Amino acid sequence: MERTFSHKIGYATEFIKLPFMLLMVLVVWNQSHFQFQVYWSNMILKQGIIWLGFLAILFATTSLFVIKKFPKILVEVTLFYVVIIVFYGILDYLSGTNKLLFVAKTLVVSFLMLPMISCKKTLLQLIKLNFFLGICLIFLNTIPVLHWKDIIKLAYESVPRIGGAVDRPDLNPFSFGIFGRTENYVYSGVSEKFARLQGWSSEPLHWSYFVFLTMTCGFLFIAGRGGSLFHIHSFLFLAIVAVHLRYVYSSTAFFTLAAFIAMYCLVNAVRWFSVLQRYELAMGYFSLIIVPGLLVPFLLVLIPNVSEFFLQEQLLGEGSNWVTKIDFLSLSVSLYERFFPLFNEELPVVSHNLILSTYIKVGYFFLLPLLIFLWMFMRYTYKNMPIPLALASVLAILTHTLTVPTHFFYPSGAMLFLMVIGVAYHLRLKNA
Question: For residues 314 and 291, which has the higher predicted lDDT (pLDDT)?
Answer: 291
Confidence of residue 181 (pLDDT cuts 50, 70, 90): very high
- As a whole number of angstroms, the longest Cα–Cα distance in the chain is 78
**Rounded alpha-carbon distances, angstroms, from residue 11 to 53, 54, 56, 115, 342:** 20, 18, 16, 16, 54
- Spatial CA neighbour of 347 closest among 332, 357, 355: 357
Helices (H), 273-318: 280-285, 296-300, 306-312
Q: What is the DSSP annotation of 367-404?
A: HHHHHHHHHHHHHHHTTT--HHHHHHHHHHHHIIIII-
Give tens-digit pLDDT for 215-248. Answer: 999 999 999 887 777 777 888 889 999 999 999 9
- pLDDT value at position 135? 96
Give tens-digit pLDDT for 137-156. Answer: 999 999 999 998 888 999 99
- Phi, psi torsion values for 196, nearest 5 degrees: -65, 140
Q: Indicate the SS3 state at residue 339.
A: coil
- 155 sits in the region (left: phi over 0; alpha: psi -120 to 50; else beta) called beta
Give the sign of the dihedral formed by CA 176, CA 179, CA 180, CA 182: negative
Q: What is the mean pLDDT of the chain?
A: 84
Q: Indicate the SS3 state at residue 251.
A: helix
Give tens-digit pLDDT for 318-327. Answer: 555 666 677 7
- pLDDT value at position 340? 83
Lowest mean pLDDT across 210-214, 247-251, 263-267, 365-369: 247-251
**Sheet strands (E) in 205-276:** none
Instruction: Say what angle helices 42-67 and 2-30 make with each other, to 10 degrees.
Output: 140
- Spatial CA neighbour of 237 closest among 145, 134, 381: 134
Number of residues assigned to the chain: 432
